[in-house]
Amino acid sequence: MQDSSNLMRLLGAIAAIVLGSGGVIALFYGANLLANRLPFKLRHRILPWVYMVPALAVLGAFLILPTLRTIVISFMDRRSQQFVGFDNYLFAFTNTDMLIAFRNNILWLVLVTGVSVSLGLVIAVLVDRVPYEPLAKALIFLPMAISFVGASVIWRFMYAYQPPGVAQIGLLNAIVVALGFEPIGWLVNKAVNNFALIAIMIWLQTGFAMVLLSSAVKGIPRDVIEAARIDGANEFQIFWRITIPMISSTIVVVSTTIIVLVGVEGLPTSSFVMTGRQLGHRSVIASRMIKEMFNFPQLRHAVAIARDLAVAGMSGAWVANIRRFQPAGRPPMTAGPETPATPAPTRSSAPGEVPLHHLRCTSWWWAIAVIWTLPTAGLLISSFRQAESPDPQRLGSGISTSPGSGPVSPG
């Protein structure tokens, strides 16, 4: 009976895939045939809409209409029947837990985006000057292939805590104890737990930023950089006055993408996995929205928080991207024919000589590579170590010894 039920489900899934894909193909093919039967002048006006209307319809049904619906609900009461004005938004901006979530969200968006894009840009410039560039990029991009949940599990073992006197299975606490200090409860210590979670997202997103910014760096003309070196500019001046201005549009796009990934997916996922839904002062707007929606439930508060998240998290990104698409001014007209530009002379190194900036890039690159591969190496090392059983007296005193937790006072 169970086998026949599973078979029917499998056949239903196959039929849905075949009919769905075939239906889309048939829809576009039939619409294209009908458009081709129209007069020539009318055909070229209608044909683009043949392909755009289905996509716009799906976009409107599943994105625009739900967005408008949530805006309406955010002004209604708990039963979504009576209009209450801005009461739900006043709750979002005056509730103590919500203010903590706003603070954490700003901290996450600023630090994760700023550090990830900055590190990605620095690494992109460094790996552009080393002979083993593919290997370097693969090592830095490797965390991007790991899901948010997988990365959280890896770092949970990195942050694992055992009481003093017991062998530490977490790599970070093992290093702290080896240096002569007490182990730290990374996920329960209010001074460091938010930054411990932020480090996970930086580790994940830097590889993504590096790949896109590396392609932008390679698009900078070499003659511009060589001309700057001949004029006496050092590597830092080239980086700040040539590289960053010429790839500023790519930096804005990468920053916008990371803000979306962090704000929508990364914050609640990593927080729930690392803390077991016990967020407390580590809560963010997305997790608070989920709590209002499913735990209380308060749909009106949840949708108001969702609107706040969209506006607060994306307003700056919207403005920056809209300004990118504004038409630039036309270049000044010249009176006569243009004269071909004289190529800048290039400085060649002596045979066998390695430029000094290449040596510096290699040293910095190896330091970054070691730091970046440390979490994965630490997980492998921890998997071969067996934690010692803690002292029964410690267990009786109410001290928690679960991985990733810190000392908990007896209740």
**pLDDT tens string 388-403:** 444 444 433 334 444 5
Token pair recorded at residue 25: 């193909």
Mean pLDDT of 310-315: 57
* Rounded Cα–Cα distance for residues 47 and 28 (Å): 11
pLDDT bracket for residue 351 (50, 70, 90)? very low
Q: Which helix or strand (DSSP H or E) is residue 79 part of?
A: none
Using the predicted structure, report yes or no on whether residue 9 has a pLDDT greater than 70: yes
Residue 376: CA count within 13 A, CB half-sphere: 16
Residue 115: pLDDT above 90?
A: yes
Euclidean distance between CA atoms 89 and 75, whole angstroms: 8
d(CA 121, CA 211): 9
Work out the mean pLDDT of the chain and round it to a whole number: 75
Residue that is written with structure tokens 């075939």 in the block: 22
What's residue 246's pLDDT? 92
Question: Mind listing the pLDDT tens digit for each residue in 242-271?
Answer: 999 999 989 988 988 888 777 666 566 666
Contact, 149 vs 367, CB < 8 A? no
* Stronger pLDDT, 314 or 68, i.e. the higher one: 68
Burial classification of residue 19, based on how many CB atoms lie within 10 Å of its CB (0-12 exposed, 13-18 middle, 19 or more buried): exposed
**HEC profile of 265-308:** HHHHHHHHHHHCCCCHHHCCHHHHHHHHHHCCCCHHHHHHHHHH
Instruction: Tell me what percent of the residues of the chain surpass a pLDDT of 70.
Output: 65
Cα–chain center distance at 219:
24
User: What is the per-residue pLDDT for 48?
Assistant: 84
Can you tell me the mean pLDDT for 357-370? 58
Query: What would the two tokens of residue 16 be?
Result: 């849905």
Domains of the chain: 16-73 (no CATH), 87-325+357-387 (1.10.3720.10)
CA pair distance 196, 387, nearest whole angstrom: 23
Contact 203, 372 (CB under 8 A): yes
List the structure tokens of 299.
């749909």
Is residue 273 predicted with pLDDT exceeding 80? no
Which contacts of 246-253 are long-range, i.e. CB under 8 A and separated by 24 or more positions? 246/220, 247/213, 247/216, 247/217, 247/219, 247/220, 249/324, 250/212, 250/213, 250/216, 251/117, 251/121, 251/213, 251/216, 252/317, 252/320, 252/321, 252/324, 253/212, 253/321
Of the candidates 314, 107, 317, 113, which has an alpha carbon nearest to the alpha carbon of residue 208? 113
Band of residue 192 on the pLDDT scale cut at 50, 70, 90: confident
* pTM score of the predicted model: 0.67
pLDDT (0 to 100) of residue 4: 77
Q: What is the mean pLDDT of residues 292-304?
A: 66
pLDDT at position 29 is: 85
Round to the nearest angstrom and report the end-to-end CA distance of the chain.
Answer: 51
Q: Longest C-alpha distance within the chain, in Å?
A: 92
